[in-house]
Amino acid sequence: MTHRTARPVPPPVLGELLVTDDAGRPAAPVTDDEGGAPLRCCLRRSRPGERVALVSYAPLRRWAAETGADPGAYDEQGPVFIHAEECAGPKGAELPFTDAHRTLRRYSADGRILGGRLVEAPEDFAPALTEAFTDPEVALVHVRAVEYGCFLYEVRRD
C-alpha cells in the first residue's frame, strides 16, 4: 500500500480563519469544557479546557486556488473546529478519526467529484482509501463525518 498522509488545515490558513473564516465571519473562540471536538489543525480530539473556535472552512476552494482547479458547484464550506491559539499540528503519521462511520469523497484534478464511499468499520478505512487511489483520476479524497457531513481532513495522491 502506498503511504497516505492526512493533511490538516495548514498553519497559515489557521491564522486567516481565526481573523475571518471562509464565510466572512470573525472567529468566536470558546473554552471547550468537555473536550472531544475533532480539531482539524492537529487532527486529534480537543481536551477539556482547551480554547477552540468553530469556523467555516472551504477545503476544496482552498485546494483549487493552490492547484488551479475549478470545482464549480462542488465548492462548499462547512464548520470545522480549530485551536484558537497557535497549534503545533499533528503528531504521528496515523490516519485520525477512523473510529466511526466515515465518507470518503473522491475528487479529480479539475475539482469534480468522482464518487464516494461509506466506511462503516474502522478496519475498512485504510483499504477503502487505498481503493480510492486505484482510480488514476482521483487526485484527492476528503474524509468526512457521516453524522454531520463535516470535513475532517484531506488525503492527496502521493
Q: Are 19 and 53 in contact (CB under 8 A)?
A: no
Q: Sort 59 into a burial class: Cβ within 10 Å, 0-12 / 13-18 / 19+.
A: buried
Given a cut of 70, the residues of the chain with pLDDT beneath it are 1-3
How high is the pLDDT of residue 94? 81
Question: Taking a C-beta distance cutoff of 8 angstroms, is the pair 77, 70 a contact?
Answer: no
- Residue 114 is predicted with a pLDDT of 95
Residue in the block written with cell 489557521: 14
Q: Is residue 143 part of a domain?
A: yes
- Quick check: is 90 in a domain? no
Sequence-distant (≥ 6) Cβ neighbours of residue 72 within 8 angstroms = 111, 112
71/55 Cα distance (integer angstroms): 21
Residues 59 and 117 in one domain: no
In whole angstroms, what is the distance from residue 39 CA to residue 109 CA?
Answer: 26
Q: What is the pLDDT of residue 151?
A: 95
pLDDT at 93: 74
Q: Looking at residue 148, what is its pLDDT?
A: 85
Domain range spanning residue 75?
Answer: 6-83
Q: Are 154 and 80 in contact (CB under 8 A)?
A: no
Q: What's the pLDDT tens digit per position in 45-74?
A: 999 999 999 999 999 999 999 999 999 999
Judge if 107 and 79 occupy the same domain. Answer: no
The pLDDT score that the predictor gives to residue 143 is: 96
Tell whether 89 is covered by a domain: no
The predicted pLDDT at position 2 comes to 55
Q: Give CA 149 to chain center in angstroms.
A: 11
How does 23-39 read in b/e, with b if 16+ C-beta sit within 10 Å?
A: eeeebebeebeeeebbb
73 and 20 in a common domain: yes
Q: 72 and 33, same structural domain?
A: yes
Strand partners, 51: 31
Model pLDDT, residue 149: 85
